[in-house]
Structures are given as structure tokens and as C-alpha cells.
Amino acid sequence: MSREAFGLPPHPPRDEGGKLCRFCFNQCLLGPGSKGYCGIRENVEGKIKPLPKEGFFSWYYDPLPTNCVADWVCAGGTGAGYPRFAYSEGAEYGHKNLAVFYYGCTFNCLFCQNSSHKERLQRGRPHPTSDLAQAVDDRTSCVCYFGGDPSPHLPHSIHSSRLALAQKEKEILRFCWETNGTMNSRFLEEILDIALESGGCVKFDLKTFHSSLNTALCGRSNEQTKANFELAATWTKKRKEPPLVVASTLLVPGYVDRQEVYQIAKFIASLDSNLPYALLGFHPHFYCRDLPVTSRRQAQECQEAALEAGLKRVRIGNLHLLGNDY
């Protein structure tokens, strides 16, 4: 029902004789004119579109330091990696982030904090890569792709990043992706490489640990997310500072509790106990408006659980959203 309201297919299409879309884990089989689960990819005359040189997105500038999942460990927020990856030894005041908001998503989260991407997708039109590359000016020191989710747009973000890097050769320009981690693993390695060389990071939104809970809340399994996170963790030794991989979890009251966070943190720690992990406050939104905000007690209990699971760098983010104990 939540998808019908936006004209999205209720399940990944499996059209007989359809063209296979390989951009994410949904592996949609698209017949002529059929759209994928993400709402972005479409079979147009036997080709999966849009092509890498265009995408469905909007963008804006965010002064640094910004309220980013990784701001407490990244170059823009802390100066980590100075002077190769940061303009200053501390926060990059005077510089800005180009925030790229993609429409469409490979999940269907009932608690989505950015659900406006679904509405924008209905009335949006694709923009050329050149529009995005031209938005990178002299004061832009980082670009962050989020949404929705970048997963169905990775060819576009990769093309945009390389074009922008060519324009700012020998200057600091970091690239980051904030994602649910459901992309084709081949594309994951491409964005890890760009983030590694530019001083950026890939931020994984680990929504749950248990697949059944992920399916209930997000419409799809998280098995590909965990597999891709394991792959990304093998890259972390290539650059210690600033961290290449960052994880976060939204603390949805009644669902993502201390026990769930403990399992997520234990999974992360089994790969690299130094990986930064941010716990984010939930705000009632979309189809979960009946839930309360995350309480301070829940946030603190989840932080304690993550530390008990073996992680060394755990932070409570979005403190302004936290409510009183209940």
C-alpha cells in the first residue's frame, strides 16, 4: 500500500523475457516500458535507462562543518588527513559540501526520514551530469551523495565524480556516499576506490541486524547490505585516517533496541573494531508517525551495548532530536 501511493511496483518486477537490471541486489527483470523497484531504472527500447550521464537528483550547498553522519571523524568536520585530504587541521570553516539528493531507493522503509524523494521522483526529470560537475566551485571541498539512496544511481555518481575531479585536478575534493549498501558489489568497489583516493568515505546505513526485521520495516532483506559491508571492511586498512568506512543505525523506538544494536555492533566489530559507528535519533515520519522520538535512555543504552559488543568508536548523533525518557 505504501508503494502504490507513489506508483511504485510492490515487488521487484520479474517480467517474462524482461531485460535484467544489474545495478542493485533487486535484480529486476524489466519488460518494455517497465520500471524497476527503485522507480528509477526503466527498460527503454531494450536498454536500461537512465544512462550514466544523467540522473534524478537535486543538490544544495551545506557550509562545513555540517551535520553529516561522519562529521565527527571526517576531514571536513575534524581536519583528519590534513594536509593531503583537508584544508585545515580542524573543521573546514569557510568551505562547503555539495549535497546531492537522489530520488528513488532500493528499499521501502516505512520510517524513511527523507520520504520526499518519492514525491520528487513522481514529478522529477533527469538532469545531465554536467549540471552537477559545474556546481563544484572554488569553495567546495567535498561532495556527498545520499537520498533516497545512491545505489540505483551509482553509474551517474561515479561519472560525476570523475568529471569533477578532472576539473579540480591537484585540489582537495572528497567524495562520500551515504547508502543502504544494496548496490552491485562491482560498483561498490568503484566508489570505495574514489573515496579512498579523494579522502572521502562510504557511509553504510545498517538499519537492522536480523533479516526478518529488515524485511518488515524496509520491505527487503539486508543480506546484500551485510555482504557489501564485509567487502568494504576489507578496504579499511588501506587508509586509517580519515576512516574510509563509517556505519550508522537509526534508533527506531520499539524495533531497533539495545539487543538489535548489540548484534549490529558485534557484526561490525568482528570485521574491524575501530570502525566508527553513529547511533541516530528517530523522528516520527512517513508511515511511522505514531511512534515517539528516540529517548535519551534508549540512545544511551544502545551506545553502551555497542561498546560492550567490542566497538571502540561509538557516537550518539542528532542529539537535538532525542526526547525525554519514557
Model pLDDT, residue 127: 81
Model pLDDT, residue 64: 96
What dihedral angle (degrees, nearest 10) is formed by the CA atoms of 180, 184, 189, 190? -100
Q: What would the 3-class secondary structure string for 30-98 be?
A: ECCCCECCCCCCEEECCEEECCCCEECEEEEEEECCCCCCCCCCCHHHHCCCCCCCCCCCCCCCCCEEE
Using the structure block, give the residue that is written with the C-alpha cell 568482528.
270
Question: 316 forms bridges with which residues in the sheet?
Answer: 279
pLDDT tens digits, 5-40: 899 999 999 999 999 999 999 999 999 999 999 999
Question: Which stretches within the chain are classed as H helix?
Answer: 75-78, 116-123, 129-134, 154-167, 185-198, 211-218, 223-233, 258-271, 296-308
Model pLDDT, residue 50: 82
pLDDT < 50: residue spans in the chain:
none
Rounded Cα–Cα distance for residues 226 and 132 (Å)? 30
Q: What residues does CATH 3.20.20.70 cover in the chain?
A: 54-243
Model pLDDT, residue 326: 53
Model pLDDT, residue 167: 86
Question: 158 forms bridges with which residues in the sheet?
Answer: none
Sign of CA dihedral 10, 6, 182, 268: negative
Three cell numbers at 279? 547511533
pLDDT tens digits, 243-270: 999 999 999 999 999 999 999 999 999 9
3-class secondary structure, 157: helix
Model pLDDT, residue 53: 83
Model pLDDT, residue 67: 87
pLDDT, averaged across the chain: 94
Tell which CATH classification among 1.20.1250.20, 3.30.70.870, 3.20.20.70, 2.60.120.560 matches the domain 54-243.
3.20.20.70
